[in-house]
Chain A
Amino acid sequence: MGKRNTPMLDELEKGPWPSFVSDIKQQAEKGKHILKEAPTDLLGVMELSYVDKVTHWKHGGIVGVFGYGGGIIGRYCDQPQEFPGVAHFHTVRVNQPSSKFYTTKFLRSLCELWEKHGSGLTNMHGSTGDIVFLGTTTDHLEPLFFEMTHELNQDLGGSGSNLRTPECCLGQSRCEFACYDTQEACDNMTHEYQDELHRPAFPYKFKFKFDGCPNGCVASIARSDMSVIGTWRDDIRIDQAAVKAYVGGEFAPNAGAYSGRDWGKFDIQKEVIDLCPTNCMSWDGSKLEINNRECVRCMHCLNVMPRALRKGLDTGASVLFGAKAPILEGAQMSTLTVPFLPMEPPFSELKELVEKVWDWWMEEGKNRERLGELIQRKTFQEFLRVTELDPDPRMVDEPRSNPYIFWKEEEVEGGWTRDIDAFRAKHQR
């Protein structure tokens, strides 16, 4: 394989952070990938972009595997004569296992599959969570899919106007804060909705993300049309002896997360009690008290003293809808819709809820209109009607300040039909 002259990219081999340029070069030199010139030509076309300051990739064409409308993104270089190794450079999205745990055996089998059918380059992982195989030609797609499903028992992820690959935090697998089994919820819902994931039938993309607690490590509140965030309804469990151990300096506060700077001795009053957003905690020097009814479960006190404070035992999730990035009407975060939903397999309540939402969105949504934009356009009241939920003050930060209420006729005594003649009999023109 030829080497390309890439003086600008070579500058990115310097410095301490891992260099993707060095890594691509290592693949180009030692790799066993079938598309021999792909890594070298990828560096070549990127170098050209570094000179031109503009991308050299074209819009994707329609490529895919039979029967699926998603999972493969077509990609073509706009200088194919110059860079034949990446002239066709399609992306394959592979649905990651919940929380991205791997055995080396499985990871190696993915590597071998990709060596056999592509560039040897990946994204671990894409923004939505997929394992991304970066760059192959159309003739490799069907064999790759066949071998992936037959030999690895593994399917593609989502793309286009369909359910995108769901994602979760690591949840109960390795976190004491997780309020439900995010891995199981993510896996179960992914398998339940394979049709929605592979065959585009929606107005636009739809994302589920499962966060185990309000710390929100998988960013569901900002990034998913349906955000499922773990919470609890009963009391925070307090180990008073452990609280004293934090106050006495025996335990490192914040699990040691702030230990790189000398912030002085741990001060429970200043660092926990005074920072509680609802002022529902008190410390008298020997006992920590929490007025749990006033707690909004922000997680701060649990984050600071994980050995002393534990989430409650009556756990489930809050469900919020409508988050999206700025395209097109501006960025939106998800809006609290169901304050508490039990989250036990098979997650029937959650499925029932999202299916109502999909029916409405597929009926009313315009082309490329995300759910959050539809709720804005059709009103939250309409969203409550379709989800058959009762209004709840927890759904708003504050009540409306304008009085322009869209009253319904049936809400007004006597209805809207009136007799103008009867009116005139009492009121002259």
Chain B
Amino acid sequence: MPYDPKEPLKDRITDIGPRHYGEFLPPVIKNNKGKWLYHEITQPGVLVHVAESGEKIFSVRVGGCRLMSVEHLKEICDIADKYCDGYLRFTTRNNIEFLVQDESKLKPLIDDLKSRKFEGGSNKFPIGGTGAGVTNIVHTQGWAHCHTPAIDASGVVKAVMDGIYDEFGSMKLPAPVRVSLACCLNMCGAVHCSDIAILGIHRKPPMVDSEWIDKLCELPLAIAACPTGAIKPAKTADGKKSLEVNAERCMFCGNCYTMCAAMPLADEDGSGIAILVGGKLSNSISKPKFSKVVIPFIPNEPPRWPSTVAAVKNILDVYSKDARKYERLGDWAERIGWERFFEKTNIPFTHHLIDDYRFAYTTWRQSTQFKF
């Protein structure tokens, strides 16, 4: 029975959750689950996993745009049907993995993937994203779908990935480099532990739409949303209830706008990009760590954000030349010292980079050990 709008609750099914993953595992994976012996990356983007039974599964990893059409998805399905017995998966970082059980189909798959291009000329399925290289950038919605962004997401990612395309398809860096983008500091993309984080920030305090604010918002909630107590009640000249922002106390987090649509803060000059570096998630060798702000602001430069691309490339190049094997970007910066990081990358150190929020004191230097 199709959906009947007259009886929306008839035969309703709820709370069934996702489909069981077991339905979607290729037979080789099903048979060897929990019994994998080792893996090898035979070339950038191509992995083989070998089980205790001796059986193998080949995976070809390709970069994908997170913003993806069903036409593209259907093409992915066609490819998986032809070479992968209809099995594939997506990775946490928006890559697509074609899972090949029959080794003879591996090379034809790779050749096929390399041959496919969008009408505009870009590659549909770049192969890579493994080992000591740059993998796909995880990102947020940006101007494609979000109400709070300071920057676009998909466009900045496209421009940056074009700029560091070679590093996606190769494994010549000192360690893996994870680049992430969040278009505002709500950080749906949680970029705060990335080797290189591209973060949208605002620099102008919210405007107050006094004509409408009392109708659109719960004023006490907007006041309570401010972490620095910069928002207080006010009245307009004609007696309407409104709010007032102490601009000097504003740290541009946008939390008030999240709570109250009548306090917009995005601005063509005020909003732009901050670059953070040196975070990691893995416990390997060193502990997980946060990314640190090294460039406080780069203007929004659509359509191709050249200054941001150049900044990422510069940091990546200097790191690549200077770091030791296995050193993640943050490990390298800590070994050489942050004073050397700024010297080597030629990035100016400004007062914006000294923490003055909640845990600030823990990041100041309380020793005489420093480098000239």
State the 7 A-B residue pairs at the shortest beta-carbon distance, nearest first: A13-B120, A257-B131, A15-B162, A260-B172, A325-B187, A22-B118, A27-B69
A155 and B171 contact, Cβ closer than 8 Å, known pairs A17-B162, A57-B146 = no
Contacts of A218 in B (CB 8 A): 92
Asked whether, in the complex, the Cβ of A149 is within 8 Å of the Cβ of B14, the reply is yes
Partner of A50, one of B88, B152, B286: B152
Using an 8 Å CB-CB cutoff, how does the interface string of A1-43 with B read, 1 for contact, 0 for none? Answer: 0000000111111111111111111110011010000010010
Partner of B70, one of A115, A149, A331: A115
Contacts of B138 in A (CB 8 A): 127
Partner of A173, one of B17, B33, B152: B33
8 Å CB contacts to A: which residues of B1-52? 2-3, 5, 8-9, 11-21, 23-25, 29, 33-34, 36-42, 44, 49
A333 and B126 contact, Cβ closer than 8 Å, known pairs A8-B302, A23-B68, A328-B227 = no
Partner of B255, one of A20, A252, A260, A328: A328
B244 at the interface (CB under 8 A from A): no
Partner of A258, one of B17, B33, B76, B325: B325
Asked whether, in the complex, the Cβ of B20 is within 8 Å of the Cβ of A187, the reply is yes
Partner of A46, one of B59, B144, B158, B182: B144
Using an 8 Å CB-CB cutoff, how does the interface string of A298-330 with B read, 1 for contact, 0 for none? Answer: 111001001100000000000000000111111
Partner of B38, one of A46, A149, A155, A307: A307
B361 at the interface (CB under 8 A from A): no
Contacts of A52 in B (CB 8 A): 268
Q: Which of B229-237, B276-284, B342-350 contacts A (4 or more CB under 8 A)?
A: B276-284
Contacts of B189 in A (CB 8 A): 127
Asked whether, in the complex, the Cβ of A50 is within 8 Å of the Cβ of B36, the reply is no
- B261 → chain A, closest Cβ, in Å? 4
Q: How far is the CA of A296 from the CA of B70 in the complex (A)?
A: 45
Q: Which of A59-67, A348-356, A408-416 contacts B (4 or more CB under 8 A)?
A: A59-67
Contacts of B171 in A (CB 8 A): 256-261
B241 at the interface (CB under 8 A from A): no
Q: How far is the CA of A96 from the CA of B227 in the complex (A)?
A: 35
Partner of A219, one of B15, B94, B193: B193
Contacts of A138 in B (CB 8 A): none
Asked whether, in the complex, the Cβ of A326 is within 8 Å of the Cβ of B154, the reply is no
A428 at the interface (CB under 8 A from B): no
Q: Which of B79-87, B206-214, B311-319 contacts A (4 or more CB under 8 A)?
A: B79-87
Asked whether, in the complex, the Cβ of B3 is within 8 Å of the Cβ of A155, the reply is no
> DSSP class of B's interface residues: helix, strand, loop or mixed?
loop
Asked whether, in the complex, the Cβ of B283 is within 8 Å of the Cβ of A299, the reply is yes
Q: How far is the CA of A217 from the CA of B285 in the complex (A)?
A: 15
Contacts of A232 in B (CB 8 A): none
Asked whether, in the complex, the Cβ of A22 is within 8 Å of the Cβ of B29, the reply is no
A binding-site residues for B, Cβ under 8 Å: 8-27, 30-31, 33, 39, 42, 46, 49-60, 66-68, 75, 89, 91, 95-108, 110-111, 114-115, 120-125, 127-129, 134-135, 142-143, 146-147, 149-150, 152-155, 167, 169-170, 172-176, 178, 181, 183, 187, 190-191, 194-195, 197-198, 214-219, 221-223, 252, 254-261, 263, 271, 275, 277, 296-300, 303, 306-307, 325-331, 333, 367-368
- Interface size class for chain B? 35 or more
When C-beta atoms are compared, the residue in chain B nearest to A142 turns out to be B8
Asked whether, in the complex, the Cβ of B132 is within 8 Å of the Cβ of A258, the reply is yes
- A163 → chain B, closest Cβ, in Å? 11
Asked whether, in the complex, the Cβ of B303 is within 8 Å of the Cβ of A222, the reply is no
Besides the contacts A57-B145, A216-B282, what 9 more A-B pairs have beta carbons closer than 8 Å? A16-B123, A122-B69, A143-B5, A219-B190, A223-B190, A254-B132, A256-B40, A260-B172, A325-B190
- B347 → chain A, closest Cβ, in Å? 22
- Among B34, B144, B146, B268, which residue has the most Cβ atoms of chain A within 10 A? B144
Contacts of B221 in A (CB 8 A): 367
When C-beta atoms are compared, the residue in chain A nearest to B14 turns out to be A67
Asked whether, in the complex, the Cβ of B147 is within 8 Å of the Cβ of A58, the reply is yes
Q: How far is the CA of A368 from the CA of B73 in the complex (A)?
A: 36
B binding-site residues for A, Cβ under 8 Å: 2-3, 5, 8-9, 11-21, 23-25, 29, 33-34, 36-42, 44, 49, 57, 59, 63-74, 76-78, 80-81, 86-92, 94, 96, 118-126, 130-133, 138, 140-149, 152, 154-155, 158-159, 161-162, 165, 168, 170-173, 176, 182, 185-190, 192-193, 221, 224-225, 227, 253, 255, 261, 266-268, 271, 279, 281-286, 288, 290, 300, 302-304, 325-326, 357-359
Tally of A-B Cβ pairs under 8 angstroms? 423
* 18 A-B pairs with C-beta separation under 8 A: A16-B165, A19-B122, A20-B65, A21-B120, A54-B268, A97-B21, A111-B73, A114-B70, A150-B11, A176-B38, A187-B21, A190-B18, A221-B288, A256-B42, A261-B173, A271-B325, A327-B255, A333-B193
Q: How far is the CA of A23 from the CA of B49 in the complex (A)?
A: 32
- A355 → chain B, closest Cβ, in Å? 18
Asked whether, in the complex, the Cβ of A330 is within 8 Å of the Cβ of B286, the reply is no
Asked whether, in the complex, the Cβ of A258 is within 8 Å of the Cβ of B131, the reply is yes
When C-beta atoms are compared, the residue in chain A nearest to B89 turns out to be A101
Partner of A106, one of B24, B124, B149, B158: B24
Asked whether, in the complex, the Cβ of B188 is within 8 Å of the Cβ of A12, the reply is no
Asked whether, in the complex, the Cβ of B284 is within 8 Å of the Cβ of A122, the reply is no
Contacts of B282 in A (CB 8 A): 214-216, 299
Asked whether, in the complex, the Cβ of B304 is within 8 Å of the Cβ of A328, the reply is no
When C-beta atoms are compared, the residue in chain B nearest to A258 turns out to be B132
Q: How far is the CA of A290 from the CA of B144 in the complex (A)?
A: 52
Asked whether, in the complex, the Cβ of B131 is within 8 Å of the Cβ of A124, the reply is no
Asked whether, in the complex, the Cβ of B73 is within 8 Å of the Cβ of A300, the reply is no
